[in-house]
Chains A and B, each alone.
Chain A
Amino acid sequence: MKKSYITISSFALLIFAAVSCKKLMPPVPEDEEILAGTIPGLSPQQELEHLKGDENFGRIFSKEDGLGPVFVQNSCANCHIGNGKGHPTTELTRFANVNGSVVDYLLTKGGPQLQQHAIFGYTPETLPTEANVFSKRIAPAVMGLGYIAALDDQSILNNADPNDANGDGISGRPNYVDPTDFFSPQSIHIPNAGQYIGRFGKKAEKVTIQDQVVFALKQDMGITSDFDMQDLFNPQNGINTGDNVADPEVSASFVNSVVFYMRTLKAPPRRNADDADVKAGEQLFTQIGCASCHITTFTTPQSDIAALSNQTFHPYSDFLLHDMGQLLDDSYPEGSASGFEWRTPPLWGIGLAKDSQGGQMFLLHDGRVNSFEQVISFHGGEAESRRAAFNALSQDEKDKVIEFLESL
């Protein structure tokens, strides 16, 4: 009898010990290892709105919710995994017919983007025979976009030098694009003949995060919203064939919450920023002129989100278009950007790329290379001289530059 009491009380004790022991729970990953989380200084209401947007960003759409009828993926988070850089398996393809200076996005033939997947019982798109230029892209990380969106056009224009007046070999220029119907200009915007500076997308063809979100909903997932009520269909199946879900498939408040989520995701955290080699690498990065395009620091003006006002941030981008040479020329024009022109991608968070890309990095707009050395070897055009400068470094110096990139 005594023995059983001992057993039972030790059993009970164990339960209590375990329940009170937080050590049995998996630890929180270090802040600097993850890409989730909010910018500092949000109010509790803003944190809640962020959470709502987070949920919508992760929402998986099905046929019953209006997915498709043709689509690329069924959730934002499938391509922007963990808010980080995407993987080639979820790449998207844009296409057009280019004939001399005439560009036809083949809108009546399913353009400008291929939706290679379809809901049950519906035939997906295939590339129309008229298409002769293609742009394949993998998803960028979506961290810290709020800072970029809050920036004023003037800060971007300050670095533009389309005719290379300063003779540094770099001639970045803004991509002026036609605004969407639902775009309402803010004090940060400086129009030019009715057009506005694009800052999102790989060729900087979207002016605002909202433009990008509405476009993604429709072109990536076949979801209509209050901002764009016209559903996709596969012209090869006949006009206006489609899903049976009433439009809009998501409300304006859905879109707004996702935009708010994008605006309030924290900037990617750095690791080992104070390491001597990393610091030396950063110096070399500036010294050999990488920072002419991958500009280190900006400061935001006043913003409607207080936490984004007057903030200094380090995106390592100038948000301008550059001629990157033949190797990166996809012949696909967007806005005023031509095939060989690309927006300098922000490098913040690039050191965490492999944690969202399945353990291996896929870099450049289409994920074609797996290492920083290879990325640099693809830098041509305006960046030609910087590539040469990198190649001229000693191995030890090159390693330091790489270590710096890994710390971002």
Chain B
Amino acid sequence: MKIFTLNYKLFVLFSLFFVANNSVAQKDSSSIKRMDPDTSKLNMNLDAVYNRPFLQMGKIPVALGGYMEVNTNYSATDGVTEGFGFQFKRLTMFMSSTITKKIKFLSELEFEDGTKEINIEFAALDFEMHPMLNLRGGIVMNPIGAFNQNHDGPKWEFIERPISATQMLPATWSNAGFGLHGKYYQSNWVFGYEAYLTNGFDESIISNTEGKTFLPATKGNRDRFEDNFSGEPMITGKVAVKRRRVGEIGLSYMGGVYNKYQLDGVIIDDKRRVNVIAVDINSTIPKTNTTFVGEFAMVSLNVPTAYVENFGKKQRGGYLDIVQPILKRKMFGWEKATLNLAFRTEYVDWNVGNFELTGTKIYEHVFGIVPGISFRPSGQTVIRFNYRYQWQRDLLGNPAARTAAIQFGVSSYF
């Protein structure tokens, strides 16, 4: 029932979005202004939520935007395939408005896999006291690593999100909470920070049907925006520096208690924490225009000793993307079209450590490579072709299951 009302509300919002869009369009289409993201400034990952293309309609103080992703999928594991299919991965819509000077609002709604999952990814108010001091409250994107904040499909040359971002870290991960963020510029440098207190994880990260420690399991908890499972706020903090024409590096931490350690005032368990640290980089070599984007994260958590060893106490994983433009010119009438070669390597170990009884290594890891080609008619639209090959080993390290996938897809802001 709850899900129904939520769906219903979202539907109304969604309809309004298009009615607004259309009616304005019919009246005076010339007053619709496309505001492309500002690339001249030193933007950081933390700016990603606002740094998107928006449509501004006349004098209405609301800007709209969004993106969609669709792709074909053909994959096989050890020769067995489910066949060929089309995947409508997601439709995301954002709406931003400037309420008065220095007070902004932005929201992001996401429809995943058709309407199977509808999420408010972001809905927050920003009060700018000083460029170094902004107060943000609402449903905020926890700034762990870079992908979580900077995940819009059209920004990437790869159809699938990194495994470490979605199967180890819970991208896209947002929670109700408050925090501060700010930036400080100094000639070619910019320094940014973010710090939030939000609701946190719950016991499903180890009490789940994945059979392994799985942070994304908490996303299934529909109450998490109004109820903090553990009763203790989770802390997320990030610092990042960027240098013009060199790149950005970020260091982030997220952690908190994930279990219910007290019930009606009775202490029923130890406080069990989950901690995540991540580093992320992105850099472009000016001479060759080669871009490197990567992230590496480590998770550690306090698993009850009474629990099975399948649920790892430590995890780690990351990815590195290399993108090389090979052709940048007018193509098919698109003025600034680009053709890129792209290559991703990725890795996740869901259970770092050894078995207690035998002292032998626990595996449960995956390693993948994804070569790809992408064509960008403009910065906001990407047509991409990926080939994926991955090796996944079970807890004991038995011969790896090999999966390959051929995918073709488009993703674009609208």
Contact = CB atoms under 8 A, between A and B. Distances in A.
Contacts of B304: 118, 120
Contacts of B268: 121
Interface in A144-182: none
A121 B258 CA distance: 13
Contacts of A355: 398-399
B397 interface: yes
B399 to A, nearest CB: 6
B125 to A, nearest CB: 36
B68 to A, nearest CB: 20
B78 A26 contact: yes
A103 to B, nearest CB: 27
A29 interface: yes
B207 A26 contact: no
B323 to A, nearest CB: 16
A60 B304 CA distance: 18
B47 interface: no
B327 A7 contact: yes
A175 to B, nearest CB: 29
B373 A60 contact: no
A382 interface: no
A112 interface: no
Contact of B404 (A26, A59, A87, A120): A26
Interface in B347-380: 355-358, 360, 363, 373, 375
A123 interface: yes
Interface string A1-14: 10110011001001
A64 B337 CA distance: 52
B78 A28 contact: yes
A52 interface: no
Contacts of A73: 308, 310
B373 A14 contact: yes
A61 B209 contact: yes
A122 B332 CA distance: 66
Contacts of A29: 78-79
B151 interface: no
A73 B357 CA distance: 15
Contacts of B398: 81-82, 355-359
Contacts of A118: 304, 306-307
B269 A78 contact: no
Contact of B79 (A3, A25, A356): A25
Interface centre among A24, A81, A118, A120 (most CB of B within 10 A): A120
B81 to A, nearest CB: 7
A25 B407 CA distance: 12
Interface residues of A, number: 47
Interface string A350-386: 0000011111000000000000000000000000000
A62 B329 contact: no
Contacts of A25: 76, 79, 81, 404
Interface string B161-177: 00000000000000000
A24 B406 contact: yes
Nearest to B337: A4
Contact of B207 (A15, A120, A358): A120
Nearest to B394: A81
Contact of B357 (A3, A19, A75, A89): A89
Contacts of B408: 15, 19
Contacts of A201: none
Nearest to A22: B76
A330 interface: no
A44 interface: no
Contact of B385 (A14, A59, A65, A120): A14
B126 interface: no
Given A11-B373, A91-B357, A359-B398, A24 B387 contact: yes
A382 to B, nearest CB: 31
Nearest to B390: A26
Contacts of B339: 7-8, 11
A14 B371 CA distance: 13
B357 A88 contact: yes
Given A24-B387, A28-B80, A62 B207 contact: yes
Contacts of A61: 209
For the complex of A and B, the 9 pairs showing the least CB-CB separation, nearest first, are A28-B79, A358-B396, A26-B402, A60-B211, A4-B331, A25-B76, A124-B306, A118-B306, A89-B355
Interface of A: 1, 3-4, 7-8, 11, 14-15, 18-19, 24-29, 59-65, 73-75, 78, 81-82, 87-89, 91, 116-124, 355-359
Interface of B: 74, 76-81, 203-204, 206-211, 259-260, 268-269, 304, 306-310, 327, 329-332, 337, 339, 355-358, 360, 363, 373, 375, 385, 387, 389, 394-399, 402-404, 406, 408
Given A26-B77, A28-B80, A356-B396, 13 more contacts: A4-B331, A11-B339, A11-B385, A25-B76, A25-B404, A62-B207, A74-B308, A89-B309, A89-B355, A89-B357, A118-B306, A120-B206, A355-B398
